Structure 1
Amino acid sequence: MNTGAVSKLLGVSSSTVQRWVKHLGLEMERNEFGHYQYTEADIETLKEFKEQIQNGVPIQQIQVKKQNRRGSVKIQTEHYSLLDKVNKLERSIENKADSVVTYQLLQHRSEIEELKGEIEQLTKQIDELHSLLHQQLSDANVHTEPHREISKKQKKKTVFHTIFGF
C-alpha cells in the first residue's frame, strides 16, 4: 500500500503518516520512485501508534513493537531488448522530425503567400506604369503626326524635283 491509501485507512493526512514513520524509525520499503510501500505489519504498527495517541499517551512515551528489517527499493524492471529500445528511440526521433518538417512547411507556405502578394502588387504597378507610358507616347504621337506627314511630302517633292529637275 502507498502513503495515500494508508492515510485514508487511518483517517489522518499523508504527512502525518510520514511523520509517524520517521518518529518510530520504521525502515520502510520504497518503490522505484522512492515512495513508501507499507506492509500489513507496518499498518498494524501505525494503528497501534494512533490508538496510544488517542488514549492520551505523549508521543515521546509511546512504545510500539516494530519489526527490524532492512529497507529496500523494489525496482520494477521491464525486459526490453536492446533492439526494442533502439526501435522506440528511432520512432520518437521520426515523430520529432515529422513535427519539425510540418512546422517548417507551414512557415514556408506563409512566406510564399506573402511573396505572392508582393508579386501581385508589383505586377499591378508595372501594368499601371506601362499603360501610363503608352498613353503618354500616344499623346506625343498625336501632336507630332501632322508635322511628320508634311515633312514626308516635302521630302518626296524635293526628291522628285531633284530627279526630274522641273
Structure 2
Amino acid sequence: MEKILKTKEVSEELGVNPTTVQRWIKYFDIPCKTNELGHYLIAEQELNTLQNIKERLNRGFTMKEIREKNDPVQVVKEKKEKMIATNILEDKLEQLMIHIEQLERKLSVKADEVVEYQVLQHRNELDNLFTMITKIDERMNRIEQQLPVITQKVVGGSEHNVPEQLKKPRKNKLMRIFSF
C-alpha cells in the first residue's frame, strides 16, 4: 500500500513551510487528493515531484522556468494564446489613433471655449470698472460744483480767484487711463 502524507509531514520532510507546499501544489497543478476538510493528501509520486521542484529552486531556477520545463505542451499553448495576428493589431492601432485624434480635437475645442469665456469675463469686468469710474467722475464734478470758489490771499492783502489754468481736468486723465 502506498504511503500517504499530509501537508505538514511533507513540509517537515522538505524543510519548507506548509503554505509553501500548498502554493507549489496549486502553481504546478500537482494532482493531489484532499480529505473531507480540504487538506492535501500527498502520495509518494507527488512527494518526488515536490522534491524535484525544491531542488530546481535551490539551483536558481524560477517557478515559471520549472513549470515550463515540466510541461512543454503547456508552454506551446501559452505562446499560441499570446500570439495575435498583425492585421488585428494594426486595426486596433488605427482605432486608437483615431480615438486620440478625436480627443485632441475635443480638447482643443474645450480650450477655445474656456479662453472665450475668460475673455468675456474680463470684458465684463472692464465694463463694470469703466461704469464705476464714470460714476465717480460724475460725483466729483457735482461735488466741485457745490464747493465755493477758492480764493487766494496774497501778501499785499488783495484777494482774487484761482486762475482756470490751475484747475486740473480730472475727467480727461481718468478717461485716458481706461481708454483703448
One fold, TM greater than 0.5? no
Q: Which has the higher contact order (CA 8 A, sep 6+)?
A: 1
Structure with greater strand percent: 2
Higher Rg: 1
Q: TM-score range by the shorter chain?
A: 0.3 to 0.5
Q: Give TM-score scaled by structure 1 length.
A: 0.41
